Amino acid sequence: MKKIIRGAALLLSILFFVSSFCGCGDRVRGIDGIDWLEYDELIASAKSEQDAAVREQMLHRAEDMLMATECVTPLYNYSDAYLSKPELTGVYSTHYGAKYFMYANPGKTTVSAFLGEQPDSFDPALASTASALTVVENTFTGLFAHDASGNVVPALVESYDVSEDGLIYTFRLKPELRWSDGSVLGASDFVFSWRRVSETSTHSPYKYLFDMIAVGEEDKKLMVTADETDTVLTVQLREPCRYFTELCAFPAFYPVNEDCVESAEGYMDIYENVIDPDAWTVRANYVVSGAYTFSGIADGKYVFKQNPYFYNASGMTVDTFEAAFGNDLDTASAYESYVAGGLDYLGTVPPDLHDTLASSADYHTDGVNGVYFLAHNFNCSAFSGMHAEDAASLRRAMSLSIDRGYIIGSVLRNGEKAATSVVPDGTAGNGGVFRRNSPEHTYPNAAECGYFSSDYETNLEEAKKIIKDLGLDADGDGVIDNGHRFAVSYLTTDSASDIAIAQAVQQDLAELGVMVKVSALSEKAFKYEASIHNYDIIALGTVSHYDDALSVLECWTTDAAGNYARLGSVVIKENENAY
C-alpha cells in the first residue's frame, strides 16, 4: 500500500527560466526517423500560418511529435482554488493565473489579500510566479489588457491598424497618458521596454516572445519606433502573427519607465553594464503605469495605493490594495487571519481543509492554462546504447507507473485534474478548444483527448507490458529485473508540495524497479542546476503566456530556453541512438 504523504497545495509558478541551449552540431534522429529540425521548422511555420485550420493541424503534429519522445511526462493540470469573502466582488483572473484586483468592490476602500508564495520580481520583464504576475497586473498595464470574460481589450491603445501583409502594426495611444509620477507616458516608452526585454543583459524568461519582431540590420535592435509626437508606436514583424495583440496583453509587453529603471542604485556599474535588472523595483514608489503604486510595507503586507494617473482610475472603487505573501507553511496562519476578518482574499486553500471548504460560499476555482510535468534529459546515461524507440518506450513505462490520482487526491487536494498532454486542458483552438478529436486529428486516447489514460490501473498494466516487451522483466512480476535496474536523478524545488510530489514519484518508480535520487533545492540553486542541465528528470510547471497551444509547444524547439529535455541538442557519444 502506498504510504500517505501530506503536502501543501502547489503554488503556481512559471519555471521557464533563461538558459542557453546549443543549436548547432549533429542532429539527433529519433522515433520513426523524425529529425528534431523538423519540429523546429513545423513550429516556425505554425507561427506564420494564417489559415487557422491548417495552422491547428501543424500544432497537432508538433504535439504528437513532442509527446512521442516521451521526454515530457505531464502530471496534472493546474486548478486555481481560493477563498474570497462573499461581499468581495469584481475580482477576476487571467488564463495564466494572475488576478485583477483594481476593479474589486469589497464594500470598503481597502482590499487585503494573501497571494501565496513570495514574488520573484515586481518587474514585468522578470516576474514569473502567479503572485508576482498578480502584483504586476495591478501595478502596470500595456497596449491591451484582459476583461472579466478573458477577452483581450484595449488599454493604453486608442486604435490600431495592421498592414495588408500582416507585418506592420501601427498603434495610436490614448491621449495624455501619464506615469504614476505625472510624467508623460509615450510610444518611446514601449520602444525602450520591448528592446530591454529582448536584451540578454535583462535575463528575461520572456525574451523569446519578442523573436517575432524584426531586427534592424545595422543596430540589431527590435524594429519598434515612435513617431515625432510620441503617440504612435509602429512595430515591424518578421512574419505575420495572428495572436500578436494577445501577446501585447501579457505583462512582458508592458512599458516600464526608463529613468526609473536606469537611475536605480545597483542597476548598472560604472561602465553602464547591467548588473541587477530588478534593482529599480526594490524601492517604494517606483514609477508604474497601472492601477496601483507601491508605497511600502506595513504589518507584514505590501501596501499599494491608487495611482491617480491610471488611464481608467475612474473605474476603480478601492483606494488601497494590500498583498501578503508566504510559503506553504504560512497558509495555515493566513487562513486564520482570513477567518478572523484580517484578509478579504486567500489565494491558497489549506490542503487539509480543501474538502471541508469546497462547499462553502467563500470557495472558488478558476481555470488556469497550465500543466505540472516532468522533463527527461535525453542525455540521461540510463538510456545509453538504447535505440530511440526503446528509450522512448521505457520513459513511457516510467510515466505510466506514476499514480496521478494519488498526487492530486492525497498530496495536493486542491481540485487539480490529471494531465494527459503537455498542452493544458481548455487551451483555445480553431472554433473552440485545441484538445479535441476531429476528422483531421484524433488523439491516441480518444476518450480523454490525450496520449494515455488518466486511470492508474490501466496505465500500470501497460507499463508492465512495456518492460516485459523490452526484455527487462524476465520473471513477469511487473518489476524490472535486478540486472537491468538503474537510477536517475530528480531535480525539484524545496517547497513542501514539490517535495511531496517528488516522494510520490520516487515511490512509484521504485515499485517499477527504477531508483530515484531526489535533489530538492532552493529556488536560486534550482535555477542554476536547471541552467546547466544537471539532472536526469526535472520537475517543472508551465502556464500559457497567451491562450494558444503554440505558447507551450514553441518552448521545445532546439534553442528554446524552455527545452529542458534538450531535444535537438548535441548529444554525448555514448547516447547517440537515444533521445
* CATH number of the domain residue 199 falls in: 3.40.190.10
In whole angstroms, how far apart are CA 248 and each of 194, 254, 279, 578? 10, 7, 24, 39
Share of the chain above pLDDT 90, in %: 71
pLDDT band at residue 143 under the 50/70/90 scheme? very high
309-326 confidence digits (pLDDT tens): 999 999 998 999 999 998
All 3 cell numbers of residue 317?
472603487
Assess whether pLDDT exceeds 70 at residue 34: no
- The CATH number covering residue 453 comes to 3.10.105.10
The label of the residue with cell 504614476 reads 180
Q: How confident is the model at residue 222 (pLDDT cuts 50, 70, 90)?
A: very high
Q: What pLDDT is stored for residue 100 in this prediction?
A: 96
Query: Residue 360 pLDDT more than 60?
Result: yes
* 24 within a domain of the structure (yes/no): no
Q: Comparing C-alpha atoms, which of 69, 564, 196 is closest to residue 555?
A: 564
Same domain, 341 and 240: yes
Last residue of a domain, one of 351, 385, 414: 351
Pairs from 303-307 (Cβ < 8 Å, separation ≥ 24): 304/135, 304/138, 304/139, 307/139, 307/180
Residues 180 and 130 in one domain: yes
Assigned domain for 155 exists: yes
Q: Distance of alpha carbon 286 from its chain centroid, rounded?
A: 26
Q: Which residue's entry shows cell 520572456? A: 206
Question: What does the alpha-carbon distance between residue 48 and residue 43 come to, in Å, rounded to a whole number?
Answer: 9
Average per-residue pLDDT for the chain: 89
At residue 2 the predicted structure's pLDDT band, cuts being 50, 70 and 90, is very low
Task: Give 453-472 pLDDT, tens digit per residue.
Answer: 999 999 999 999 999 999 99
Residue after which a domain boundary falls, among 319, 351, 383: 351
Same domain, 292 and 157: yes
Task: Say whether 516 sits in a helix, a strand or coil.
Answer: strand
Single out the residue in 322, 351, 380 at which a domain terminates: 351
Residue located via cell numbers 526517423: 33
Confirm whether 23 is domain-assigned.
no
Is 529 a domain residue? Answer: yes
Q: What is the pLDDT of residues 106-134, one digit of tens each?
A: 999 999 999 988 888 999 999 988 899 99
pLDDT in tens, 236-282: 999 998 889 999 999 999 999 999 999 999 998 888 889 899 999 98
Nearest-angstrom CA–CA distance, 492 and 507: 16
Strand 417-418 to 99-100 pairing: unpaired
> What is the distance between the alpha carbons of residues 338 and 353, in angstroms, rounded to a whole number?
14
Residue 13 CA to residue 550 CA, distance in Å, equals 19
The residue with cell 503572485 is: 131
Residues 453 and 498 reside in one and the same domain: yes
Q: Same structural domain for residues 230 and 309? A: yes
* Confidence grade of residue 385 (pLDDT, cut at 50, 70, 90): confident
Helix (H) or strand (E) holding 554: none
569 residue type, one letter: S
Task: Kindly list the distances between the CA atom of residue 185 and the CA atoms of 170, 236, 312, 527, in Å, as whole numbers in the listed order.
Answer: 17, 21, 14, 35
Residue 210 C-alpha from the chain's centroid: 16
408 and 513, same domain (yes or no): yes
Q: Give 328's pLDDT tier (boundaries 50, 70, 90).
A: low
Q: How many folded domains does the chain comprise?
A: 2
Banded pLDDT at 497 (limits 50, 70, 90): confident
pLDDT higher than threshold 50 for residue 16? no
Instruction: Compute the distance between CA of residue 520 and CA of residue 523 in angstroms, rounded to an integer.
Output: 9
Determine contact, residues 108/226, Cβ cutoff 8 Å.
no
The rounded distance, in Å, linking the Cα atoms of 240 and 236 is 10
553 within a domain of the structure (yes/no): yes
Crossing angle between the packed helical segments 36-48 and 52-68, to the nearest 10 degrees: 160
Question: What is the domain extent for residue 539?
Answer: 31-78+368-575
Do residues 342 and 218 both lie within one domain? yes
Q: How far apart are CA 101 and CA 139, in angstroms?
A: 10
d(CA 63, CA 146): 27
* Residue 304 phi, psi (nearest 5): -120, 125
Please tell me whether residues 272 and 404 are part of one structural domain.
Answer: no
Please give the sequence-ordered ranges of beta strands (E in DSSP) within 53-148, or none if there are none.
Answer: 72-84, 92-93, 99-100, 110-114, 144-146
pLDDT computed for residue 12 by the predictor: 32
Quick check: is 11 in a domain? no
Who wins on pLDDT, 45 or 570? Answer: 45
- Do 307 and 184 share a structural domain? yes
412 and 342, same domain (yes or no): no
Burial (0-12, 13-18, 19+ Cβ within 10 Å), 6:
exposed
Q: Are β-strands 486-493 and 514-521 bridged in parallel, bridged antiparallel, or unpaired? A: parallel
Q: Is residue 2 part of a domain?
A: no
Give the pLDDT of residue 570.
54
SS3 335: helix
DSSP string, 4-30: P---PPPPPB-----------SPPPB-
Distances (CA, A) of 28 to 44, 90, 389: 19, 51, 13
What does the alpha-carbon distance between residue 46 and residue 55 come to, in Å, rounded to a whole number?
5
Q: What is the CA radius of gyration of the chain?
A: 24
For residues 67 and 191, state if they share a domain: no
Name the residue with cell 527590435: 222
Distances (CA, A) of 563 to 377, 413, 519, 548: 9, 29, 20, 18
All cell numbers assigned to 247 = 501577446
Bridge partners for 539 per DSSP: 374
All three cell numbers of 547:
491562450
**pLDDT digit string (tens) for 155-210?**
999 999 999 999 999 999 999 999 999 999 999 999 999 999 999 999 998 998 99
In a 13 Å sphere around the CA of 257, the CA atoms on its Cβ side amount to 23
Query: How confident is the model at residue 440, as a pLDDT?
Result: 93
484 lies in some domain? yes
310 & 401 share domain? no
**Residue 36 pLDDT greater than 70, yes or no:** yes
Amino acid at 110: T
Mean pLDDT of 535-540: 97
